[in-house]
Amino acid sequence: MLSNVLNVQYGIQGSIEFKEGGAGFSFVHIKNANGEAVISLYGGQVTHLQLKDDEPILWVSPLSEFTPGKAIRGGIPICWPWFGPHSSDPLLPQHGIARISNWSVVNTCLLEGDQVRVILRCDQDRIDQLAKWEGVELELSITLGKTLRLDLCTRNRKREAIVVGGALHTYFRVEDIHQIAVQGLESTHYRDKLDQYKRKFQEGGVVFTGETDREYLDTKSDCILIDKAKSRSLKVSKEGSNTTVLWNPWQVRSEEMADFSDNGFKQMVCIEAAITANDEQIIAPGENHILSQTITLL
Ligand code: BG6
């Protein structure tokens, strides 16, 4: 079993353990005195997070398929190396290939301050199969301390510059979508995907009253997710991203999605550290780009 081999090489007693899960996928379970997280090696996707004995922070659809070739619906999908549909080839997968690729373990370690770290690498053969992406490397560092931090590093090993997009597409679990607010995007312009990408202005905090799919532009701000019904607030900060995406499919769209429970929309909201087609990052030969997101329980 793969998890047995991984435990011998990378397991750390009491902190990091590999286990086999649904559909034969392997998962890394990490924990410290402050909390715990679970990461699927398929997709390099965090599927569970709990901090300070509070309730789970991430939402995963109960109908999510854990099937190779399909994205896990929930947790923190890694969108890369483009966000949304591919700009010129509609046959390429939405949100890129990282979330439907296998990832391998590069390293695990314990750091000062009771931090646990796992470093994963996206399947190089899968990346190399993508025209123009051969030789580009993708690594994800996941650190559980008092917070959970993800650092997604794109390394350009090519002789020419590359243009990369993507997102840390985090699904947060909420008690009731009607009773949450997202602060931190006040006085910011956004493109409303549900209204022909019209540019609009966000006056105050964001509340949710229907399907929402927005790209907030030129923002590096922290977001605070206030969940009144759960009496919980989370800080979601980011680096290496100028766009924050907010998404909730609401009733009709979620009913259309086979892997989305019909009322699932009431219990989730996506706050995404994104690099969209608007602001894709150019990475010079030999350079890296790091996209990060940190989740803090307030
Ligand atoms: C969001 C996009 O990031 O992801 C939405 O802004 C999209 O337009 C959503 O519907 C979910 O995408 P997918 O491919 O996971 O169904």
User: For 39-95, what is each residue's pLDDT tens digit?
Assistant: 999 999 999 999 987 899 999 999 998 999 999 999 999 999 999 999 999 999 999
> Is any atom of ligand 1 closer than 6 Å to the C-beta of 95?
yes
pTM: 0.97
> Residue 127 belongs to what H/E stretch?
helix 124-128
Q: Does 227 contact ligand 1 (Cβ within 6 A)? A: no
Q: Give pLDDT, residue 214.
A: 98
Instruction: pLDDT band for 22, please (50, 70, 90 cuts).
Output: confident
Q: Whose CA is nearest to atom 1 of ligand 1?
A: 247
Phi and psi at 76, nearest 5°, equal: -125, 85
CB 78 within 8 A of CB 140: yes
**For position 280, what pLDDT does the model report?**
87
Which pLDDT score, from 0 to 100, does residue 262 have? 81
Which class is 2-297 in CATH? mainly beta
Evaluate the CA torsion angle 31, 238, 83, 177 in order and state its sign.
positive
Task: Looking at the CA of residue 169, tell me the nearest atom of ligand 1.
Answer: 3
> What is the rounded CA–CA span in Å between residue 79 and residue 183?
24
Q: Which residues have CB under 8 Å from 288's CB, separation 6+?
A: 153, 154, 155, 156
CA of 41 to the centre of ligand 1 (A): 21
Pocket test for ligand 1, best of 73, 191, 247, 293 (most atoms within 8 A of CB): 247
Q: Is the CB of 245 under 6 A from ligand 1?
A: yes
For residue 130, what are its two tokens? 């993508």
Residues marked active site are found at 169, 272
What is the arithmetic mean of pLDDT over 25-47?
A: 97
Whether pLDDT at 23 is above 80: no
Instruction: Check pocket membership of 274 for ligand 1, CB cut-off 6 A.
Output: no
Q: Which atom of ligand 1 sits closest to the CA of residue 77?
A: 15
CA 247 to centroid of ligand 1, rounded, Å: 7
Q: Give me the chain's average pLDDT, please.
A: 96
Q: How far is the CA of 84 from the centre of ligand 1 (A)?
A: 7
Separation CA 294–CA 228 (nearest Å): 21
